[in-house]
Amino acid sequence: MNDVYILDTNVITPLGKGVENVYEAIRAGRTSIAEYRFPKSPLPPYFVSKFSEDETDNFRQLNEGSLLENAIVEAAGPIMSKIDHSDLKKTILIVATTKGNIDQINSNSSQSLISLAKNITGLLQIPNKPLVVSNACASGVSALLVAQNLLQSDKYQYALVCGGDLLTEFVLSGFHAFQAVSKGPCKPYDKNRSGMTPGEGIGTFLISRSPVKMNGKSYSFQGSQANDANHISGPSRTGRGLQKAIREAMRHTGVSNEEISALNCHGTGTIYNDEMEAIALNKTGLADTPINSYKGAFGHCFGAAGLIESAICLEQMKRNEVLPSMGFSEVGTSMELTIPVNSLPLSNLDCSLKTSSGFGGNNSAVIFKKS
């Protein structure tokens, strides 16, 4: 398949609005993770990354959509200004989400994820039918690869890829039942890691099928996806699905392991996810490549995670720098990984690998190239 090109990205997280602001916050060692208890809920307090009540109220009042729809439109607005209104008819909206408007569920009804996407196309005046990609926590990276696929034909010139998920009691109670939530803020890849930190946020990408520049450089990508065929809620012990996705992503982009200068994988902070990644990265010759996880700064944003984290990866490429991983101090996986504890300047960061894995066994790998 042909490369596609990134026109612009944006993120809104409890750690900040805008890619540069969130990047600077991570670089300065700030975090949005704090203890929180849902009002009137029997759930114990947990460390999570959650928008404040003021921010939530603000999203609700921004537009006529739901909280999540308005927040996504807010994040999409600045990047959509990169194209003309007349280009909207050549644009497809692809939404990555796990639970969409789950905050609106009641005893009688819950709404299809497609209604979220349809309402966003309405608010943004995109005339084409939208699509939702729901591949659990891999949805964000999956949606980028779906966009690449759909931009192979000239039916669309642009894809607006929006990831969004909210942290609700619905979701937290599930991870509470799984006993998957970290006692303190998560510690990706660390020897004392004990689980994930739930979060919420929005990540948006505008992608073009023809070469375009962002900040004076061209950023293109290709990737691949593979299933573990192992367990619906646990990663494979061998990382075979992730290995396959990474190898195929390298084959499609024509880059070798040595040409990849930085990695950002799923890095949730659970024992099994991080261990699986360490195995897969060692087997694909990437153990010596600097890797980080941003989840210690703004938590795990579920369906949006892959897009928010990819946007930060691209900012790393712009600055030729690899950020440290908050919460990490000592490698705690059975195989070695190369994890910087301070910001690591590189002479050239022209090629990055980003991966996500999720419930349902899906693994998605994308390689970004700068030229």
First to last CA, the chain: 19
Say which residues have a Cβ less than 8 Å from residue 216's Cβ, sequence separation at least 6. Answer: none
Would you say 98 or 282 has its CB closer to another protein?
98
**In the beta sheet, which residues pair with residue 201?**
165
Cβ–Cβ under 8 Å, residues 333 and 319: no
User: Residue 177 CB, nearest distance to another protein (Å)?
Assistant: 4
81-110 residues near another protein, rule: CB under 8 A: 98-99, 102, 105, 107, 109-110
Give the other-Cβ count within 10 Å of 201's Cβ: 30
User: Residue 114 CB, nearest distance to another protein (Å)?
Assistant: 5
Q: Which of 37, 64, 81, 178 binds another protein (CB under 8 A)?
A: 178
Would you say 190 or 228 has its CB closer to another protein?
228
Number of residues that bind another protein (CB under 8 A): 58
Would you say 180 or 339 has its CB closer to another protein?
180
Cα 112 from Cα 160, distance rounded (Å): 20
Q: CA nearest 96: which of 367, 317, 370, 362? A: 362
Cα 17 from Cα 26, distance rounded (Å): 13
Span interacting with another protein, options 51-59, 241-249, 266-274, 321-329, rule CB under 8 A = 241-249
Would you say 146 or 301 has its CB closer to another protein?
146
How much of the chain is in helix, strand and coil states, percent to nearest 5?
A: 35, 25, 40
Span interacting with another protein, options 17-25, 193-201, 228-236, 279-287, rule CB under 8 A = 228-236
Cα 141 from Cα 138, distance rounded (Å): 6
Would you say 142 or 325 has its CB closer to another protein?
142
Collapse the DSSP code of 17 into the 3-class scheme (helix H, G, I; strand E, B; otherwise coil) and give the result. strand
By residue count, the chain amounts to 371
Span interacting with another protein, options 51-59, 148-156, 257-265, 318-326, rule CB under 8 A = 148-156
User: Residue 136 CB, nearest distance to another protein (Å)?
Assistant: 5
134 is a site residue for another protein (CB under 8 A): yes
Rg of the chain over all Cα atoms, to the nearest angstrom: 19
Q: Which of 361, 365, 366, 367 binds another protein (CB under 8 A)?
A: 361
Would you say 49 or 363 has its CB closer to another protein?
363
Q: Which of 50, 244, 354, 370 binds another protein (CB under 8 A)?
A: 244
Indicate the burial class of 206 (C-beta count within 10 angstroms; 0-12, 13-18, 19 or more). Answer: buried
Which residue in this structure is represented by tokens 């992503």? 249
Would you say 86 or 179 has its CB closer to another protein?
179
Binding site for another protein (CB under 8 A): 1, 40-42, 98-99, 102, 105, 107, 109-114, 117-118, 129, 131-136, 142, 146, 149-150, 152-153, 169-170, 173-178, 224-233, 240-241, 244, 248, 252, 358-362
